[in-house]
């Protein structure tokens, strides 16, 4: 089930374990991650990285991600990873993600603080936690080096304390010696720095670039305060190796899913997440979407009605947390209310922010309220478990 992502990481922090945030780029990876987490009863974060969006249709894959996340009994969050701008993050709030990351770590500190603060404000309006990054985690080999160029810059504990206070970010990605992709040499991690950052920052810490670390290094990472570990390269490498021994596509896909599931089960156990699903479900409340419904009549003419509806879909559909929007009309001419708006908001906090958004107010005052004085507005909470009916 989809749960509050902030509470999910807080559960991991309080119980001293780390949740795997596994990047997925297709439904085979999605199925493998869920199967592996279910095998060991582990909370899980399904992650889609902005840098991978050229590999798939984001909206189509997100529909599958949300559907499977809602159907599993595990506590699940859906993370938008390495976001590059407020515009991209705002779009992510409308697609079903439950947590966001802005990666401004390549900027100078003052610019990183300003950008992350703005992103945290946006995320919080949509009822979602925001992950920031302080320090710089570079890439190794091929695509990872292209996406994350430059030299490593370690996270400073004093700066981490000030950064969290100044930005309001909920999670902090840190740089202590890991790299995106696979290491070319022996990883040398600064665990003392990680422990100092944990004590200074006071928020769940995130490690990017886990592929290639030893089991013992992972254990120390978790003991030192890591609560979220991003993991991708090893999954695609293991999937490719498993699929290479097959001749038919369906056999390749099945082998890849099995390999991913095995690695997710292994790493979830290694990081202490195995067996935590029930406890995390009791701690982290389920995410409940809000259906905002307006029944109304119209005193303007037909052209004005069509302009109002088209403008509303354009303006309101772009606001944070608005996942679906429709305008409709009654099938019967004698219906007490002839017209309808229905909008799905991500959660109650997003609904409140929608009401207060100046863009909403400006549209309503200019296009809707003067000609739709006769109306009924009701907000409905979605069932947290539709299968309970």
How far apart are alpha carbons 99 and 131 in whole angstroms? Answer: 8
Query: Is the backbone of residue 49 left (phi > 0), alpha (psi -120 to 50) or beta?
Result: beta
Catalytic residue list contains 4: no
- Answer for the pair 129, 99: CB distance below 8 angstroms, yes or no: yes
Give me 38's structure tokens. Answer: 């279910």
- 3-state SS string for the chain: CEECHHHHHHHHHHCCCCEEEEECCCHHHHHHHHHHHHHHCCCEEEEEEHHHHHHCCHHHHHHHHHHHHHHCCCCEEEEEEEECCHHHHHHHHCCCCCEEEECCCCCCHHHHHHHHHHHHHHHHHCCCCEEEEECECCECCHHHHHHCCCCCECCCHHHHHHHHHHHCCCEEEECCCCCECCCCCCCCCCHHHHHHHHHHHCCCEEECCCCCCCHHHHHHHHHCCEEEEEECHHHHHHHHHHHHCCCCHHHHHHHHHHHHHHHHHHHHHHCCCCCCHHHHHHHCCECCCEEEEEEECCCCCHHHHHHHHHHHHHHHCCCCCEEEEEEEECCCCCCCCCEEEEEEECCHHHHHHHHHCHHHHHHHHHHHHHHCCCEEEEEEECCCCHHHC
Neighbours of 129 (CB within 10 A): 25
- For 34, counting Cβ atoms within 10 Å of its Cβ (0-12 exposed, 13-18 middle, 19+ buried), the class is buried
Residue among 4, 23, 81, 144 flagged as catalytic: 81
Backbone dihedral angles phi then psi of residue 208, each to the nearest 5 degrees: -100, 140
Which residues belong to the active site?
81
């Amino acid at each position: 089930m989809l749960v509050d992502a902030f509470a999910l990481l807080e559960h991991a922090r309080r119980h001293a374990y780390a949740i795997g945030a596994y990047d997925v780029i297709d439904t085979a990876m999605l199925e493998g991650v869920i199967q592996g987490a279910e095998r060991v009863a582990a909370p899980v974060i399904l992650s889609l990285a902005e840098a991978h969006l050229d590999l798939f249709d984001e909206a189509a894959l997100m529909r599958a991600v949300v559907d499977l996340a809602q159907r599993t009994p595990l506590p699940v969050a859906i993370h938008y990873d390495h976001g590059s701008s407020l515009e991209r993050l705002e779009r992510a709030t409308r697609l079903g993600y439950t947590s966001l990351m802005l990666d401004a770590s390549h900027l100078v500190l003052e610019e990183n603080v300003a950008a992350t603060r703005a992103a945290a404000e946006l995320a919080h309006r949509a009822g979602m936690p925001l992950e920031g990054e302080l320090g710089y985690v570079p890439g190794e080999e091929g695509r990872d080096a292209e996406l994350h160029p430059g030299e490593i810059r370690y996270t400073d504990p004093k700066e981490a304390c000030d950064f969290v206070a100044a930005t309001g970010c909920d999670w902090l990605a840190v740089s202590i010696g890991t790299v995106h992709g696979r290491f070319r040499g022996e990883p040398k991690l600064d665990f003392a720095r990680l422990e100092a950052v944990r004590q200074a920052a006071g928020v769940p810490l995130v490690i990017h670039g886990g592929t290639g670390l030893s089991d013992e290094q992972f254990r120390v990472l978790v003991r030192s305060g890591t609560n979220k570990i991003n993991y991708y390269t090893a999954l695609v490498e293991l999937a490719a190796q498993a699929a290479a021994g097959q001749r038919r596509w369906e056999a390749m896909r099945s082998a890849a899913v099995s390999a991913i599931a095995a690695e997710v089960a292994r790493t979830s156990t290694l990081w202490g997440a195995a067996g935590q699903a029930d406890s995390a479900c009791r701690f982290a409340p389920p995410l409940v979407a809000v259906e905002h419904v307006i029944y109304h009549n119209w005193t303007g003419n037909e052209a004005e009605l069509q302009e109002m509806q088209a403008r509303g879909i354009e303006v309101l559909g772009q606001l944070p947390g608005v996942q679906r929007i429709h305008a409709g009309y009654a099938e019967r001419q004698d219906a007490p209310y002839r017209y309808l708006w229905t909008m799905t908001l991500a959660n109650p906090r997003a609904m409140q922010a929608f009401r207060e958004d100046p863009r909403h107010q400006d549209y309503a005052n200019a296009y809707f309220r003067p000609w739709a004085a006769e109306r009924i507005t009701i907000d409905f909470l979605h069932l947290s478990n539709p299968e309970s009916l």
